[in-house]
Structures are given as C-alpha cells and as structure tokens.
Structure 1
Amino acid sequence: MELPVDFKNKYSKLLGNDATSFFASFDNPVEKGFRINPLKHVDQLVEHSTESPISYSKWGYYGTAHGKTIDHQSGLIYSQEPSAMLVGEVAHPKATDRVLDLCAAPGGKTTYLASFMDQEGLLVSNEINHGRAKVLAENVERFGIKNSVILNESPDRMEKPFKQFFDLIVVDAPCSGEGMFRKDPSAMDYWNVDYPKECANRQKKILNSALKMLKPGGRLVYSTCTFAPEEDEQIAAWMLSEHDQLKLETIKRDGDMDSGRPEWADGNPELTKTLRLFPNHFKGEGHFIASFKDQRTPELDENRKKKSSKKSTLDKEHDKLWTDFSSLFLEDIDLFPKDNLKVVGEHLYYLNANINFSKLKYIKPGLDLGIFKKNRFEPSLSLLMCLKKQDLKRAVTISSEQWRDYVHGEVITDINTDLKDNGWAAVCVDQIIVGPAKYVNGTLKNFYPKGLRLNF
C-alpha cells in the first residue's frame, strides 16, 4: 500500500524501530469479525461458523459476516471489525444504566452496549448525519433492541435536555481515520498532516458537550480509529487537565495490546492507563480507547426509584386496536405496558423512560411497534425483531429455502401451520423470527419491508 509520505515521516519519528513492521502491516489482509446477538436467545447460527472466538469479546468471532443470509437479516449476527469490539467491552454498561452512544452510526457500539443491557435501562443512540442516522436505525431494528431511542442531533443541542442524565457515555469520535487505511484506502485521499489537529478541535467540542450530560459518578469511554497522538493521548491529557473531576480507569489488556504513550502528550504517567491497538501487534485494524470516571459524588435519583404513575396516553380507539391486536398476537399482553406507549403521527412507540422530545430531532422516539390504519393495527418489523418465538401466539415456520422467497417479497403458499384464523403472524425459520406476514386461507401474504427485500 502506498501510504502518504507525511504519514510515513510522522510515524517513523514516533515509532522508531517499530515503524517498519507498522507500515508493513498495511499490506496484510483486512481483519474481519462478527458478533452473536444475545438478545435473540437463539442457540445456533444457520450459515456462520463460531470456530474462531475472539478472546476479549464476550460475543465476538473472527470471520466474514455475509449479508444475504438468515443470520444477518434476522439480526442473529452483527458485522464488526475486531478492534472496535473492545470499545463495547470496556464500556460494559449495567443493565439498568442510562447510556448514551453519542456518535453512534452505523451501530456497532450501540448494538454491543445493548447486548449487555438485555432490554433494560435506556439506550440513547445519536448520529448527527441524517443519512447515517437512518442506517443506525435500521441496524438497531434488525438487532431487536427494545430499550432504544435514535436521535439525529448535534451534541451541543443535547446538553440542556440531558443535563447530568447519563450513567455512561460512549464517544467513538469522528477522527482522521488512519485505522481505516487498510480497510478503505480512499480514507487516505482526505488525510493530510494537519487533519488530526482539525479533528482534535472537533473532538474537544463533542467531549465538552458529553461531559455536561454525564451524571456525577458516571463514566465516559472515548475512542478513535486513528493512531494520531493529537486525537488520542493528547485528547486524554486535555480531558484530565481541563476537567478536575475526571480520572482515568485502568483498562485490562492482553499481551498484544499496547499502553498509551505519555511521551506523545504531556508526559502524564496516568496516560499509560489508556489503550492502543496497533495492526502490527494486534489482530485488528487499530483503535485507541480511554475510560474516564467522574469522581464527583453521585446524587440520589429519586425519579428512578419511583414507579411511573402516569396513565396511558392512548385514546379509546388506539387503545382498543392495540388491545385487540396484542391479545391475539402476544402470549403476554403486558409485555409492553400501556403507560409506556405513545402515539406519534399514527405510529405506536414503546419507551420505558420520560424524555421530552419537543426540542429534539429524532429518527425513532422509542421502539416502533407498528402503525394504526383504518380500524386496524399493523405490526412493524421492529416489533417482530425484539420478540422471541415463545412470546408469540401466532407464528408460522417456513424452510430456509422458502426464506429466500420471503425476503424477496414473494407470497408463501406451501406451509404447515396450526393456525385456524386469518390474521397477522410472525414468520420463522426454526426458532428464528424473520419478519411479519398475514396468514390468509393457507398462504402467507408478504409484509417484509420493501426497502429491505433481497435479490439473489
């Protein structure tokens, strides 16, 4: 790979004798990986091997995730570069935490955080770019996350609505992307020797906003996919010098992981608690991670201890349509408590948190359960993706061959089912829910979203 001359000059000086192997690593194959989705509660993958586990990741494996498969389309797996998986492991939220993924697209960190939270707590995933925020929402939907909100905001506009709100904030910051050179050589086209400093200025603004949203006693995990000290150790040193309440946490590391380099910043020995992943030492594309702890005394949050006393906001018509649908479709009609349901437009959302969305731009203000139409309720793919087969009263099992026809948009005719009445049903391959359909006189009318349909 023909690396930029200024890049090679810079890292020759920084790395010394290690520079040769560092530059040579860019000619090695890209390391690929995927994670199993624990929210799905499915024991075995259909098309992917789990013979090469990643030692530091609870759910990670080396290998290529193939898109046009049952495993991928149903959210059983998520494709993620191995280095990036370590960010989620370091963050490791508690199930009941309020968590913010501030720069979340396309969704790798968000889905990793959700895996630990197991559908509890609150996970707010934000992406400033609208197009990327829609991709984030699609990945959250496929993964089956029930406790999420998808925002499309700038960090500074979030400061007031979420003042000292979050227990954990993850900032996987926009960066100069030097760790992307091997995976995406076009990343070199916009790199120049001053670009890391430009990125560092933007990162400081993002982090200042993030710290205003962090609760006393909370944690902030900062990461980049670049090797630039300006965006890595120097940002961590700036955080410590500008914000007295912060202290670096030691990150557990294996032998192929490097400590941060204090000499590349202000010499503060605390910076050795940060983590570097170099592609000539580590089986991955490269990353920097720092974990900060807010040392202020946590304040007692009375609102968390109180059970919500709010009543359902559904009007009688919406309430009846949802009740009629859920009583026929779900084994437990209280799976989505009515005091956590809200109609926006004609869409019904579930959110187990009190958030004022009046001054926030959002893509999804909760889990989209479906849409109200004239005299009926139509379930969404999001609803199906967050359920387990045992949650359902109405499910129809198809073969893996029929699945190809289903995700292509075809009507499925040759089925075996115990269903006697026409109506909505979940389409499954064995125990895997793959989407919605309407059972009509022995056939499945296809309601797999048109924008997601596949050609083989």
Structure 2
Amino acid sequence: MSNILPNDLLTLLKGDPSFDYEAFSAVHDKEEKTTSIRLNPSKSFDVSTYDIDREIPWCQHAYYLKERPVFTLDPLFHSGCYYSQEASSMFLDYVIRKLKLNSSPIKALDMCAAPGGKSTLVNSTLHSESLLVANEIIKSRVNILTSNLVKWGNSNVVVTNNDPSAFGRLPGYFDLMVVDAPCSGSGMFHKDHSAIDEWSLANVKLCSERQQRILSQSLSALKTGGYLIYSTCSYSNEENEEIVDWLISEFVMESVHIGVDDSWGITVTESKEHKASGYRFYPHLLKGEGFFCAVLKKKAEQGTFSMKKVKKEKNVAPQHFAKNWVNAEGHYSFLHNNFLHIFPQRYEQDLQALQSVLYLKNAGTELGELKGKDLIPSHDLALSNLVRRDLPAIELDLEEAQNYLRKEQLSVGINPENLKGWIVVRYKGINLGWIKAMPSRINNYYPKEIRIWNL
C-alpha cells in the first residue's frame, strides 16, 4: 500500500471490489506531471514545432507534449494560440459534441470558471454564434479568467463575478450549465504531492456541502430540457456520485449516458441510488489526472426570465469607429466608462438583461478608449479574432518578441518616417499587441500588469 496517499481515501476506494487500488497507489508514489495543450482553432499556427507526443482522444485540437516547455517564454502562448490544460478535464469537448450542443447557437454558463480552461474550451466547442457567460465566484480570481478569455479572442463572451445565488434572478435562461465545482482536490495528488497534506474527510464533507449550495442556488437558471455538466477533480463519492443522486432526487433531473471508447481508459460508474452514469479518470488507467464528470438533463418545469422586463437603454456609442479596426459585421458598439466595446448584435438585449441582475467584469471585445475623435486601442483589440489584418504591422523574431512581452524598449529597426502611429506587433503572423511610433521614439504598449519577467 502507498505510503503517500491518505489511508482514509484508500479505504474508501477499496470499497469498490473492481478497483485496482494497488495500481492506483503505485502510480501516485511517483510525482509526475503530464503536459497537454489545447489549440485555439481561431488562431492558426504550426503546432508541429512543439514536442508533440500524441493527440488527446476525447478532445479536438488537443495534444500531449513529451516535455513541458517554458510557456512563459513562448509568445504564441501569450497571444492565445493555445491553452495549457489538464487532459482529463478536456473531456467536456467530447460531451458537448455528443450532446450536439455545438450544432446551433445556445446560451451557456460556466459557473466556477477561473482560471479559464473550461471556458475557453466551451467557447471553442460551441457554435460560433452562441453566448457564453463565464462566472467566477472568488473576486481575486476574476482577472486571470478575463485575461485568458481576452487571449482567446472571441467577442461572444461575458465575464461575471457573482455568487451563485445571483443567477436565480435569471430563471430558465441557459441551455447549458457547466459546474466544475470547488472540491477536495484528491484528483491532483498524482502531479502535486503537496496537496495531500490539505486533504481530510472533514474537508470532503465541507466541499460536498459547498457543491450542494452552489447547485441549489443556481440551478433555476437552467431551462427545462437544458443540460448540466457537473465535474470535480476529486475521487470521493460524496463529491461525485452522491451529488448526482442528490440532484436527481431534489431537482427532477435525469442522468444522460455518454458512450465512450473503451480504449480511452475512462471508468464508467453508476451512482448507488439512481444508477446514474458518471465518468472517472484515474492516472493508472490513462494519461491524465483524477477527474469526475456527469451529465444531467433538467426535466422539471422551469419558469423563464422575461425579456419584456428589460428596460432598453439608449445607446450613445459611436458606431463608425469599429469598422476601422475590426470586421464588425453582426456586431454593435457600446460604451463602458468611455471605453468602446463590440458585442454580437443578436445578444444586445441579452447583455442588458445580464447587466440588470449581475456584476459584469467584461463583455464582448474592448476596442479602446475614446479620446475626442480618436480611439486609443486596447490590448484586447490586438488579440481579437475580429481585428483587421490590413492594419499597419511589424513582424518580430523570437528574441524581439520576448523583449516586447517584457515591455522593454524595442530595437526593431523601425524608421518612423515610414511607419507612424499605432502598429500591431506580430510573431509568426500572430498578433501580440501594440506599439506606437512617434517622431523620436517607439512606445511599447504591452500591458504592464501582464508583462513577463526576465527568466
């Protein structure tokens, strides 16, 4: 038996006679980190230059890497070309496609969204005209969520910072809810032995109670016939199958079985009370960390939020600026604190509805700050998938791009007589941000708060 894992956890797992706890213990005795990335399908680049091991079978555009690179020094990482995400959690891509939730536009909510791995995944997998609300409960984690979604570059996203109870004010609004719930974290023991010291049966109980609170206070926002994807990085029944049984009993939901390929090594479980399907990822059976996922469909009759209650406000934002910077077809402009944003036209009323009941951290794509008749472009604009390709731009090599990301003075040989004003900085054809060429100098406009430090 392992000398690493808590005996209480092993005792619980040994209760399943089909579970190979000896192999499970053995794989945990050696701390290992599997590296995997998921590509942004909207930002094309040559992934073959990375040390690819093989594809991840349950997620499109996703790969295991043979070795972990220094992501901090890769300009393509900072530009949102890919996301470094744990492979097991990418299973949501497969679930969404199996449910055919990517076939037409829907409204989706990622409830516990920071740092943004699942939000960027959902944003890529859903139909391109869907609306995603990415919420983070903890205020200190909202900025990293916003930053990662800005890198991803899509305009059909709203970032919110609200307690789950706030979504009770949007009854029947969402077609899909993703709740990757805060948990005791036993699924991370394989890659992080330090997490073992924080685990206890008392913490499992506390997490289970927290998970029930999050779900009970927000589930009314899911429409009748809508889907809930519930997940944790825990092995405990109390946080997984027992939560699923509780959802079915208390909220008139039904389990949705998602067939998986046996060769993937995913363990399909049944809950004790309702025989609901669950999907467990164990590191001794597949290349990934501990993860649990279940899919439920809401059968209860749910009242719906009335858009008629939304007071339509007059939009005073100038609409002509956007076309100079982005391909703005199907979008409208709005102002927030004198910053110009664009957002999908089809969701204009929805945005006003969300704003009336939630605290919004970001919405759509921020183009920049209006200064008289001029627009001071935002970093978000440079990373947008809608930004015009014919804007003035320069290409940097790796060393120059890293210096740019450090917010250092550039020595790129720009002749201010030939190039002036706002210029897009690119690496391998991918936008990194802005510089401004002045008569006597070049200003680096990479945001100070996300610059990289010398490594």
TM range (shorter): 0.7 to 0.9
Separation (CA, whole Å) in 1 of partners of 2:186 and 2:144: 23
SS in 2 for 1:159: helix
Q: Is 1:397–1:417's contact at 8 Å kept on the other side of the alignment?
A: no
Distance change in 2, residues 1:375/1:388 (3 Å): closer
Change (3 A) 1:12 1:85: same
Aligned partners of 2:315 and 2:156: how far apart in 1? 19
Which residue does the alignment assign to 2:75?
70
TM-score, structure 1 as length reference:
0.86
Return the alpha-carbon distance in structure 2 between the equivalents of residues 418 and 296 of structure 1: 65
Q: 1:204 aligns with which of 199, 212, 216?
A: 212
What is the aligned partner in structure 2 of residue 307 from structure 1? none
Alignment of 1:53-452 (within 5 A): 53-63=55-65, 64=68, 66-92=71-97, 93-94=101-102, 96-117=105-126, 119-160=128-169, 162-255=170-263, 256-262=265-271, 265-266=272-273, 268-269=274-275, 271=276, 273-295=277-299, 313-315=315-317, 319=318, 323-324=320-321, 326=322, 328-330=324-326, 332=327, 334-335=328-329, 337=331, 340-352=332-344, 353=347, 354-355=350-351, 356=353, 357-373=355-371, 375-387=373-385, 391-415=389-413, 420=418, 422-441=420-439, 444-452=442-450
Residue 91 of structure 1: how far off its partner (Å) = 3.0
Amino acid at match of 2:188: M
- String of CA shifts for 1:118-160, please: whole Å, max 9, x gaps: 6422110011111111111111111213211111111111211
What amino acid is aligned across from residue 106 of structure 2 in structure 1?
A: D
> Contact 2:423 / 2:436 at 8 angstroms: preserved in 1?
yes
What are the ranges of 5 or more consecutive residues in structure 2 without an aligned counterpart?
A: none
Alpha-carbon distance in structure 2 between the residues aligned to 1:389 and 1:397? 16
Q: CA deviation at 1:446?
A: 0.9
Under a length normalisation based on structure 2, what TM-score does the superposition of the two structures give? 0.86
Count residues in correspondence. Answer: 436
Q: CA deviation at 1:8?
A: 2.6
Percent pairwise identity: 30
Counterparts of 1:90 and 1:108 in 2: how far apart (Å)?
15
Give the aligned residue type for 2:23.
S
Residues 393 and 439 of structure 1, relative CA distance in 2, 3 Å threshold: same
Q: Structure 2 counterpart of 1:184, which letter?
A: D
Output the CA distance in 2 between the equivalents of 1:407 and 1:111: 22
2-structure distance, mates of 1:417, 1:276 = 58
Output one character per residue of 1:400-428: Cα deviation in whole Å (capped at 9) or x when no partner.
22212211213334346999562222111
Give the root-mean-square deviation of aligned CA atoms.
Answer: 3.0
For structure 1, the residue ranges without an aligned partner over 5 or more in a row are 305-309
